[in-house]
Amino acid sequence: MQRELKDDLPLEHLMRLAQQGEQQAYARIFQEIIPILRGFVSKKLQRPEDTEDVVQEILISIHRASHTFDTDRPFKVWMFTIARYRLNDYLRTVYSKNKKGMEVAFDDEVFDISNEENVTKSHENQEYLIKIMSTLPVKQRNIISMMKIEGYSIQETAEAMSMSVSAVKVSAHRAYKLMALKAQEIEDKE
């Protein structure tokens, strides 16, 4: 029989009740952890749809690992270990995909296409950017693409490129200089 649950029950206690068959307690756990997980994942991922995908993955993992939780231990430590594991798994998959196909993924970029003018403008900017970036050495182009188009942090880019953070910064700085020079060249020609 389901009973009314108090509002301030800790997650460990809720899990104990859930393991005893209280569906309501199990539902409450998910409701309470979702905002925490969204906050945790969104620090690493920029696109909300990616965040939601990873949060769902984490929820499924928590459910699948529910038999390994010892209710005498803090719930959040257990939960965050799973969350970190799944998030790293996701990032690893994304990085390995990027490594395999290092072409600049402009198609993935979201442009504001609410009116025709914006579409034209976006395409012009895109072409201009492609033109300048195509003159960069491959490594610098990849770094700029990851940091400025795909939205990775310096740390994430460094990990994906198997470089140190400072090496990424130096490479990016050189790339900006080259891009500025190239932009100047193009403007002079036009």
Partner 1 sequence: MKTEDLIQQLVNEGPQKPMPHPMRQTMVWLLGMLVYLILITMYIGFRPDINQKLGEISYTFEFILLLGLGITSALSAFCLSRPDGHQMPWLKFVPFGFLLVWIITAFSGMSEQINLENLAHSMALNHFDCPSYIAIFSIPPGMALFFLVRMGVTTQCYWAGSMATLSVTSFGYLLMRLIEPNDNPAHLIVWHALPIMLICMLGMIIGRLVLKWR
Under rule CB under 8 A, residue 85 binds partner 1? yes
Nearer CB in complex with partner 1: 34/105: 34
Residue 21 near partner 1 by CB under 8 A: yes
Residues sharing a CB contact under 8 Å with residue 157, sequence separation 6 or more, in sequence order? 143, 146, 147, 163, 168
Question: Distance of CA 166 to CAs 82, 92, 163, 173, Å?
Answer: 30, 21, 8, 10
> Can you tell me which of 66, 122, 126, 135 binds partner 1, judged by CB under 8 A?
66
Rule CB under 8 A: is residue 47 a binding residue for partner 1?
A: no
Q: In whole angstroms, how close is the CB of 36 to partner 1 at the nearest point?
A: 14
Rounded least distance, CB 4 to partner 1, Å: 17
Phi, psi for residue 67 in degrees, rounded to 5: -75, -15
Show the site string, 147-176: x = touches partner 1 by CB under 8 A, - = not.
------------------------------
- Choosing from 45, 55, 160, 175, the residue that interacts with partner 1 (CB under 8 A) is 55
Q: How many CA atoms lie within 13 A of 177 on its CB side?
A: 6
Cα distance between the two ends of the chain? 78
Instruction: Please report, as ranges, the residues that interact with partner 1 according to CB under 8 A.
Output: 15, 18-19, 21, 23, 26-27, 30-31, 34, 52, 55-56, 59-61, 63-71, 73-74, 77-78, 81-82, 85
